[in-house]
Amino acid sequence: MSEQKAIIIGASSGIGKELAKELSRRGYTLGLAARREELLAELRGELAPPAYIRRMDVSQPVSARQVLQELLAEMGDVELVVINAGISKHKASWEEEQQTIDTNVAGFVALARVAMDYFTRRGAGHLVGISSVAGLRGFGISAAYCASKAFISMYMQALRQKSTRLGLNIAVTDIRPGFIDTPLISGRKYPFWVVSAETAARQIYTAIRKRKRLAYVPRRWRPVAWLLKALPDWLFIRLPV
């Protein structure tokens, strides 16, 4: 069987870190990118085979694209790219909202385009993006975050439609996590369904293996998502969140 290769962007902690461990156990050779290169170096020591690591600041799209292009060229024949990097700010200032958009929207598009162009030349591939159940509706406590995650889901849907229309053998998977026990929600209290990053990584791997178009993590968020989307606006805006 040919060697499997994947790149995870945003692999220094949380979901990205645990997904790296999961894919490594499954025999993948990995490329790992994040701002905190020292944490990537620590993670590399836990993986077999050893991983390629690169420092990448997703909020700087031009340099981030260059890093991904160089990593793809160095690894050669990468079949899977996971874009996990993102930030979340509650009750954000304008500056924090701008940072959220720069990272979650502009950064995501910049990297997704590199991956899709690479897979098109390769003749096949799989792009996975981490959006959120928060992207289903606009919650006032984190307006820019919700909007950015909705953008990611819509953008991936457009990439999937384009791939299908052009007959490209490129899968596009939208992962929509709920509450995952990671630094992203550190210090915040959530009432239910918080799962570990390890559990999330296992479910994400299953979605990757099955080349799903959409997966909620954990899976029990699916009916909640249906309910959120079905709520009339007059009722939604009165929710105490």
pLDDT in tens, 151-166: 999 999 999 999 999 9
* φ, ψ at 111 (rounded to 5°): -80, -35
Q: What is the pLDDT of residues 128-141, one digit of tens each?
A: 999 999 999 999 88
pLDDT computed for residue 91 by the predictor = 77
pLDDT computed for residue 179 by the predictor = 86
- Torsion angle in degrees (nearest 10) through CA of 38, 40, 46, 50: -110
More confident call, 87 vs 174: 174
Whether 28 is a known active-site residue: answer no
214: number of Cβ within 10 Å: 17
The answer to whether the CB of 12 falls within 8 A of the CB of 35 is yes
Domains defined along the chain, listed by start: 5-236 (3.40.50.720)
pLDDT computed for residue 24 by the predictor = 96
In this predicted structure, the answer to whether residue 186 has a pLDDT above a threshold of 60 is no
pLDDT computed for residue 21 by the predictor = 97
Mean pLDDT of 199-217: 97
- Which pLDDT band holds residue 191 (cuts at 50, 70, 90)? low
More confident call, 17 vs 182: 17
pLDDT computed for residue 184 by the predictor = 62
Q: What is the pLDDT of residues 94-135, one digit of tens each?
A: 898 889 999 999 999 999 999 999 999 999 999 999 999 999
Q: What is the pLDDT of residues 40-87, one digit of tens each?
A: 999 999 998 779 999 999 999 999 999 999 999 999 999 999 999 888
Question: What's the CA gap between 218 and 199, in Å, rounded?
Answer: 8
Cα angle 195-48-183, degrees, rounded to a multiple of 5: 30
**Of 28, 145, 155, 216, which residue is the catalytic one?**
145
Tell me the percentage of the chain whose pLDDT exceeds 90: 77
